[in-house]
């Protein structure tokens, strides 16, 4: 793990002093990153500014954790490509890195599992902290983890049958969320309308993005399939990688299409029970 100190390019001493006054915080974003976009990276910057503004936290690192291929989402390209693109995109960041653990699992990993791995102290044994370059310093044991997401992620808690109550309790109650708003979503209303989210409202940090940016990976893939430019939506290095490996074609978008139809049928049956 030769990159243990990559989050400290701006000076170890100053950050340690600040961390002694605040809670050292790591932001973890789980998702498809299919592909990673400038907006994905922007979420980290917005979240860091907001958490610093609370006066309670010092963000010492960020982690991008792409899902495994077994997630089965339609159009999901292989994890090796999504990992490679994320690493290329994050070369410009001195505090956000990519973790491959979740993407390498044979089965789809629920969001709570990497968080549990982190908190259980088994990260060193499984290589989680090693691959994510978390600083090996005296205050490392006091690091806290919060999940970073878009406001649309909060809305998934309202979908019947998608989340078990114990998993919501684990994610929101034990760790906490930093949710960045996007578009016309109203995360405050989502929290208010959920008894469980309301119960843990103090552990949910809502971040407002005042500069509207509707970039989504779905729209990026659609543009690529149609041969349109995605410059300034994703980093140039990622665009080059996509063209080099002929990703996001009509054929790749049909990947997992049958599995998606089966999942939709399954959830429809559950809702009609």
The string of DSSP letters for 148-216 reads EEEHHHHHGGGSTTTS-HHHHIIIIIII-EEEE--TT--HHHHHHH-HHHHHTGGGEEEE---S-----
Candidate ranges 9-18, 100-109, 139-148, 231-240; pick with highest mean pLDDT: 231-240
List helix spans (H) across 215-255.
Answer: 217-225, 236-244, 250-253
Establish if 1 belongs to a structural domain.
Answer: no
Question: pLDDT tens, 182-229?
Answer: 767 788 888 988 888 899 999 999 998 888 888 899 999 999 999 999
Alpha carbon distances (Å) from 141 to 9, 10, 165 = 21, 22, 28
pLDDT at 50: 97
For residue 35, say if its preceding peptide bond is cis, omega within 30 degrees of 0: yes
The answer to whether 229 and 223 are in contact (CB under 8 A) is yes
Domain of residue 146: give its range.
6-271
Establish if 202 belongs to a structural domain.
Answer: yes
Establish if 151 belongs to a structural domain.
Answer: yes
CATH of the domain at 100: 3.40.50.620
The answer to whether 27 and 59 are in contact (CB under 8 A) is yes
The answer to whether 209 and 236 are in contact (CB under 8 A) is no
Establish if 186 belongs to a structural domain.
Answer: yes
Looking at every residue in the chain, the average pLDDT score rounds to: 79
Q: What's the number of domains the chain is made of?
A: 1
Question: pLDDT tens, 121-172?
Answer: 444 333 334 344 444 444 445 789 999 998 888 888 877 777 788 888 888 9
Mean pLDDT across 246-273: 62
């Amino acid at each position: 793990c030769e990159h243990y100190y990559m989050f400290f390019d701006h000076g170890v001493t100053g950050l340690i002093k600040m961390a002694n006054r605040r809670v050292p915080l790591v932001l973890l974003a789980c998702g498809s990153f299919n592909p990673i976009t400038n907006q994905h990276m922007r979420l980290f910057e917005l979240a860091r500014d907001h958490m610093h503004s609370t006066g309670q936290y010092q963000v010492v690192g960020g982690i991008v954790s792409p899902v495994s291929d077994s997630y089965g989402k339609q159009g999901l390209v292989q994890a090796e490509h999504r990992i490679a693109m994320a690493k290329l995109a994050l070369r410009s960041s001195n505090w956000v890195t990519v973790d491959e653990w979740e993407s390498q699992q044979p089965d789809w990993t629920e969001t709570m599992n990497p968080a549990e791995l982190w908190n259980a102290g088994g990260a060193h044994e499984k290589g989680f902290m090693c691959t994510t370059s978390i600083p090996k310093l005296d205050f490392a044991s006091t690091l806290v983890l919060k999940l970073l997401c878009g406001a649309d992620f909060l809305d998934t808690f309202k979908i019947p049958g998608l989340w078990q109550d114990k998993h919501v309790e684990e994610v929101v109650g034990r760790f906490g969320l930093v949710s960045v708003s996007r578009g016309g979503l109203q995360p405050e209303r989502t929290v208010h309308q959920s008894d469980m989210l309301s119960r843990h409202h103090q552990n949910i940090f809502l971040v407002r993005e005042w500069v509207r940016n509707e970039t989504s990976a779905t729209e990026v893939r659609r543009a690529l399939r149609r041969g349109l430019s995605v410059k300034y939506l994703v980093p140039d290095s990622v665009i080059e990688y996509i063209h080099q490996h002929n990703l996001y074609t009509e054929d790749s978008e049909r990947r997992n299409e049958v599995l998606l139809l089966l999942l939709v049928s399954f959830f429809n049956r559950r809702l009609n029970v």
